[in-house]
Structure 1
């Protein structure tokens, strides 16, 4: 064995991928891309990152306008303003933001995985609302503290929702267990964008100072670009795991014509705006038909989701699932769906297995 290894070592030809050789150069674009790109990331990576870069750039410019307004509101440049009053306002804003962050994470933390697209878009819309409030706050001095505190709560929610959904998208993008590398390179991309925004802001600030019309006009322009880029970004994401919306879309199509939608087709139909959802029951009482055999807990989750509905249809659902589940499961796996893990957002469940005689 040792002699064979030595022989292989002498005859082997070692080569380095051309893109990795280019990545060694400090001016190369691969400085900002994960190691092994494009094989190490999902197919939608480049398109998503492009639109994410556009939205980050426009958000950086909008943030500059909002920061200038906030500083003017707390008294920067005003000789009558006191340091103590400005400090108290800033502390109140930060304090309310901390409380808002904790409450939002408690109420909605478990939803951020299953509906990452919706909450990602929601976070960016809320961020624009918060910045708009900060720009308007100096024009309402009597309510300035209330407005900036409310904006601080909104921004804290943005921080939680944006950061958590970005982590969920990183899990989707990582194809070689390289979440840390993708996250680090995303940080590099964002830093470069913020640096470009900073340079433009240095030119922008003297133009908008004491010019409310120009400030609002530019803000609305940047906001439109920001929202459009965010919409395109979340629309470009093609997730191969089932959440409630994607599974419903695929199942409805299958029940109509027995055709299994691919992940791309289902993701294009998936809604990306938050809306009302049907209230889920806290309890689910049923018996699993004996012939139905499940290969894993995740397959059981799929069955439970498909069984969900009005109580009078449970019996018919059992019959239907006995007939189609195995074929449906094989079909979705062949179409490219990942059934080893799901994002169906179930709460904790307790199952009591009864004996066959009972």
Structure 2
């Protein structure tokens, strides 16, 4: 009757609760106040979910992980079907097959895959952070293609080795794109500087899924061996499930950082409706299969040589952009807006240059649609209608300087993150006097 509660504690937002009670005889007794069944759920959360879940991860974490679990299970099933086909192709079970031939095929398959990994990382490595959702989906589509080639390969013994080498290259690209984009998504999901924990628990989840798929495969493989029609039926079913789950996974991710696709959608919404869209709305509209469609492609961080071919043209741009740490050129014939950055340009300057480019692209796309544009864009419209490129650049720069501050304040109010910006800038940087006089020592 004289027991007194000295302290109460809980484990994060879970229902695990404990009371520390002082008894009459001076002992400290721990009383578990957790509801029935909480111990098991707490153990499960501790093993497979990041510490502090759900506060320690992004709001889209659970939905993404559910779809990721489904796609991993489907991929494991089709991967086993492909592995069986490759083993059959290299001669497992064939008395006439030689160990040397099988070994050479495997070495060539691995070797071409290594080369493919290096080449892809060289060509596309810089864009994986900027378009992580699109490359994530691309990796899974390519993985299904590689599995399809491996299942087909034993039916063409004359070109079996080239086919499995092609599949090896595809899978190596999948490894680079999938691994890199997984890291980018993990960084997005980790909200307590707990990227390693989120990544480790993601690995535990995937291992559990693969274990479940392994058990299914042990029962499945004896049933499908030698039955090509059944193998193809299962491949089609699980591939469709795999692709749908992957598409749903990347679509549910809500990224707060700014890339060119999301900036394009924000500027269009702003100029169409005079308001900045929410993060959720923009991510829902962001294309994850194809690139953003524009009439004018935006190339950020390009060489000055792409903007102009004569000294007079360069001098005109330097005077036009006096006081601005970038040079923006418009080439309507090629359908390009090229942006050269000064070595003094910051991420804010990159955002401003792309904002100006998006304004020009917006006006150009709506030029002949009989669409009424805001009166503040009238000088840009008039210049483009008359084919006056420099006039359009000057008018769009004036509009940008007048509106960029309000634009940045608006996106921050909508919880967008402006540092870093993922605008996929190339590494060319130029030196010139920002006040408009060319630096004669270093250019």
What TM-score, normalized by structure 1, do the two folds share?
A: 0.90
Match in the other structure for 1:207: 223
Question: Tell me, which stretches of 5 or more residues in structure 1 are unaligned?
Answer: 1-10
**For the Cα contact (< 8 Å) 1:48–1:233, is it kept in 2?**
yes
User: Within 5 Å, which residues of 2 pair with 1:263-278?
Assistant: 263-275=279-291, 278=297
Take 1:276 and 1:208, find their aligned partners in 2: how far apart are those partners?
Answer: 42
Q: Tell me which protein shows more helix as a share of its residues.
A: 1
Match in the other structure for 1:300: 349
User: Within 5 Å, which residues of 2 pair with 1:1-358?
Assistant: 15-17=10-12, 19=14, 21=16, 27-275=43-291, 278=297, 280=299, 281-283=302-304, 286=318, 288=321, 297-308=346-357, 312=390, 313-352=392-431, 354=433, 356=435, 358=437
Aligned length: 345
**For the Cα contact (< 8 Å) 1:241–1:339, is it kept in 2?**
yes
Take 1:173 and 1:61, find their aligned partners in 2: how far apart are those partners?
Answer: 27
Are the structure 2 counterparts of residues 152 and 317 from structure 1 closer, same or farther at C-alpha, using a change threshold of 3 Å? same
Superposition deviation, residue 134 in structure 1: 0.4
Q: Tell me which protein shows more strand as a share of its residues.
A: 2
Are the structure 2 counterparts of residues 59 and 15 from structure 1 closer, same or farther at C-alpha, using a change threshold of 3 Å? closer
**For the Cα contact (< 8 Å) 2:323–2:436, is it kept in 1?**
no
Are the structure 2 counterparts of residues 288 and 12 from structure 1 closer, same or farther at C-alpha, using a change threshold of 3 Å? farther
Question: Tell me, which stretches of 5 or more residues in structure 2 are unaligned?
Answer: 1-5, 17-37, 308-316, 326-344, 362-388, 438-443
Take 1:26 and 1:330, find their aligned partners in 2: how far apart are those partners?
Answer: 42
Are the structure 2 counterparts of residues 23 and 233 from structure 1 closer, same or farther at C-alpha, using a change threshold of 3 Å? farther
CA distances 1:168-207 after superposition (whole Å, capped 9, x unpaired):
1011111111100000000000000000000000000001
Are the structure 2 counterparts of residues 142 and 268 from structure 1 closer, same or farther at C-alpha, using a change threshold of 3 Å? same
Take 1:145 and 1:305, find their aligned partners in 2: how far apart are those partners?
Answer: 47
**For the Cα contact (< 8 Å) 2:261–2:292, is it kept in 1?**
no
Secondary structure of the equivalent of 1:271?
A: coil
**For the Cα contact (< 8 Å) 1:23–1:31, is it kept in 2?**
no
Take 1:204 and 1:77, find their aligned partners in 2: how far apart are those partners?
Answer: 19
Take 1:357 and 1:149, find their aligned partners in 2: how far apart are those partners?
Answer: 55
Superposition deviation, residue 274 in structure 1: 3.2
Superposition deviation, residue 298 in structure 1: 2.2
Take 2:112 and 2:49, find their aligned partners in 1: how far apart are those partners?
Answer: 37
Are the structure 2 counterparts of residues 318 and 144 from structure 1 closer, same or farther at C-alpha, using a change threshold of 3 Å? same
What TM-score, normalized by structure 2, do the two folds share?
A: 0.73
Secondary structure of the equivalent of 1:315?
A: helix
Match in the other structure for 2:28: none
